[in-house]
Structure 1
Amino acid sequence: MKIGILKETRKGEKRVSLSPIIAKQFISKGFEVFIEEDAGLNSSYKNSDFKNIGAAIEKRGVVFKESDILLKINPFDEDDLKLVNKGQVLISQLYHKSNTKLIEAIASKNATAFSLDAMPRISRAQDMDVLSSQNNLAGYKAVILGAYEMTKIFPLMMTAAGTITPSKVLVYGVGVAGLQAIATAKRLGAVVEATDIRSETKEQTESLGAKFISVKNEGEESQGGYAKEASDGYAERQKAAVNKSLFQADLVVTTANIPGRKAPILITEDQVLQMKNGAVIIDLAAAQGGNCEVSKLNKTVIKNGVKVIGTTIAPESVSTNASELFAKNIFNFIIHLTKDGVFQWDLEEEITDETLIVKDGIIRKK
């Protein structure tokens, strides 16, 4: 079976879906690997790095023509689909619930498509979960970006000129990104607090040395491993419980996303106006509308002295590590789907069933 790796074309994207190390592992399993020329350069992988382990470096058109499987990180676009052939298998993050036109276009090509963001949150799928591997880096980089943008340092520091008190960090959402943000801020010496709709995250938060701000939640808290959208009543209770910490925070990191839905508003403009002058908000949910009401994607908004940075950040900014992790997820996923280099199409199996969005031109999931 032949695997084609396409160069990412989205503006600002520096990752590649396969690293040389994982390409070598595929080849050792009997796969052929075709890499679009210069696909890995922004992740510090030279064409020769792939060529030296037995992969073929080809022009874009050749990769499309020769491959049985086409790999990308971001959704396939119109230019990609012009080159897709009947029967090819497309694997990427398709965001199919909010990207219906793309799914219909793939179906019209009589192709097959797996969506990596539809991976079920079950223990045996953890090593295939690209959302977790990439969000882990996002949480780390959010704190590093926040530290750069702040006018204070994180740790307690005692000097001859006086004592510097530690910065206060507040994290909304204790998922993969939130946990890494907590851990990173603690390592840098900050006093950290966190809140989440899921009460089961309290123990995880406290295990990292942070304080968990509990908010009473009478409804179902999570679904399929993801936090559910909060009720209006919960949102109001959360504001009341968190406001004191929010208004004292030097850095706030928001990470709350709901698959296929607009991100919930956790910080209103009125709350921003009551925050400390010089405080920084890093909103990781900006691509889905933002957790902060004043956030704008890829922009810095200054409101009453508070700096609000809306971003998806991180995986792209640490592209070498992000590509390494993504590639390992892809390897585990394809090995799971195939046997002796042939797809099994086991639709009774949960991972296959949940991620297979289009099969031979027929849309399975909407």
Structure 2
Amino acid sequence: MKVAVAKEIEVGERRIALVPDIVARLVKQGLNICVESGAGNGAFFSDSDYEAAGATIIADTAELWGDSDVILKVAPPTPEEIDRLHEGQTLIGFLNPLGDPERIQKLAQRRVTALSMELIPRTSRAQSMDALSSQAGVAGYKAVLIAASALPKFFPMLTTAAGTIRPAKVFVVGAGVAGLQAIATSRRLGAVVEAFDIRPAVKEEVQSLGAKFVEVELEEDTVASGGYAKEISDRSKQKTQEAITNSVAQADAVITTAQVPGKRAPIIVTDAMISQMRPGSVVVDLAAEQGGNCEGTEAGGNVVRHGVTLMGPVNLPASMPVHSSQMYAKNLSTLLQYLVKDNALTLDLEDDIPDSVCVTLGGDIRNSRVREALGVTSPA
């Protein structure tokens, strides 16, 4: 079975689907790994590194895509890349199936088997394949560094000859993987941290990291399948905003991470809240690509409102491509090894892992939420 690692062509995407160490393991297990020439440059892995690991370097993009059984990617395929795929091939990577269902429809029309890394089930059995979590951890870490760099204050408490400098106050909205990493990183830098999440079950995790948990009682279920936060009613949103207003006002840096798969991110930090923050404060909105948790955030840009800098970074994992690629490669290779039997990719759709990740098969769109978004009533 020939497995191809494609070069990422999305602007700013520096990650690669497999790193040399992982390639070497897969080659020892009998897989034929081909890597597009220059694919690892953004993550500082050279063609010679991959050759030493046992991979074949292919310079011709059409040849790489045309002759492979399985294509591995990081970013979702562009229309041009989809056109390179042919019937019977398997594509594995981030596909954004709920955010861009039309892409999935095009993959189905090409009769490609498409496996979406966003849809790995959140179970202990699949934990080592969970690419969303591994990449979210990178984003949470980097968000704190961005905030610390932009904030015109120290993060830690300092005792100096000129007096004692009080530590910065950080407020983290959303205590998923990104939020928990943001809490931990802020604490390591010496900040005083508060955090909020609509899921009461994460309170102990927040407190275990040394942060104060801001509580609010909501009269509805706040947890979706897999442990993710679910979209809540307008009344609950208003109650949430009221509960965190004071924490936002007192914070030097606010980091927001709340997202709902396939939908616009909920507005949590309003313009009225921002107006109460001290001038020079910073908001880093990790939900910027989905519209933002903060009113006024611009994806990929910085905006100053009421003297507060609103930062909307996008694709933060790509800004740390070495470790991001290492973790993603481990997630991807674990899934690949799980699915490969006798040197062939085998999808047992009675198993929850392949059943969850497989979005297209034999021309069918298998994910019900994607079909609903497209107005398709049956898998075909």
> TM class by shorter-chain length?
over 0.9
Which residue pairs with 2:314 in the alignment? 312
Contact 2:99-2:261 at 8 Å conserved across structures: no
Scaled by the length of structure 1, the TM-score of the pair is 0.98
Q: How does 1:242-321 map to 2 (within 5 A)?
A: 242-321=244-323
Residue 227 of structure 1 aligns to a residue whose secondary structure is coil
How far apart, CA to CA, are the structure 2 residues paired with 1:227 and 1:100?
A: 21
Deviation at 1:177, TM superposition (A): 0.3
Which residue pairs with 2:150 in the alignment? 149
Which residue pairs with 1:121 in the alignment? 122
Scaled by the length of structure 2, the TM-score of the pair is 0.95
The code of the aligned residue for 2:344 comes to V
How far apart, CA to CA, are the structure 1 residues paired with 2:18 and 2:56?
A: 13
Which residue pairs with 1:103 in the alignment? 104
The answer to whether residue 272 in structure 2 is matched with residue 232 in structure 1 is: no
Deviation at 1:98, TM superposition (A): 2.6
Contact 2:15-2:325 at 8 Å conserved across structures: yes
Residue 200 of structure 2 aligns to a residue whose secondary structure is coil
The list of structure 1 runs, each at least 4 consecutive aligned residues, that deviate by more than 6 angstroms after superposition, is: none
Across the two proteins, how many residue pairs are aligned to each other? 366
Which residue pairs with 1:216 in the alignment? 217
The answer to whether residue 222 in structure 2 is matched with residue 205 in structure 1 is: no
Deviation at 1:266, TM superposition (A): 0.6
How far apart, CA to CA, are the structure 1 residues paired with 2:213 and 2:50?
A: 46
Deviation at 1:248, TM superposition (A): 1.0
User: Is the deviation greater in 177-186 or in 352-361?
Assistant: 352-361
Contact 1:247-1:275 at 8 Å conserved across structures: yes
Which residue pairs with 2:373 in the alignment? none
The code of the aligned residue for 1:198 comes to R
Which residue pairs with 1:324 in the alignment? 326
Which residue pairs with 1:171 in the alignment? 172
Deviation at 1:269, TM superposition (A): 1.4
Contact 2:286-2:312 at 8 Å conserved across structures: yes
What whole-Å deviation, never above 9, does each CA across 1:208-240 have from its counterpart, x for those lacking one? 000000010221121121101122222222222
Residue 293 of structure 1 aligns to a residue whose secondary structure is coil
User: Is the deviation greater in 226-235 or in 202-211?
Assistant: 226-235
Residue 297 of structure 1 aligns to a residue whose secondary structure is coil
How far apart, CA to CA, are the structure 1 residues paired with 2:315 and 2:147?
A: 12
Q: Which runs of 5+ in 2 are unaligned?
A: 371-380
What whole-Å deviation, never above 9, does each CA across 1:277-318 have from its counterpart, x for those lacking one? 111000000000100010010000000100000123421111
Deviation at 1:182, TM superposition (A): 0.2
Q: Which runs of 5+ in 1 are unaligned?
A: none
Residue 98 of structure 2 aligns to a residue whose secondary structure is helix
Report the RMSD for the aligned CA atoms in angstroms. Answer: 1.0
How far apart, CA to CA, are the structure 2 residues paired with 1:356 and 1:183?
A: 34
How far apart, CA to CA, are the structure 2 residues paired with 1:249 and 1:29?
A: 52
How far apart, CA to CA, are the structure 1 residues paired with 2:76 and 2:93?
A: 6
Contact 1:4-1:71 at 8 Å conserved across structures: yes
Which residue pairs with 2:31 in the alignment? 31
How far apart, CA to CA, are the structure 1 residues paired with 2:53 and 2:104?
A: 34
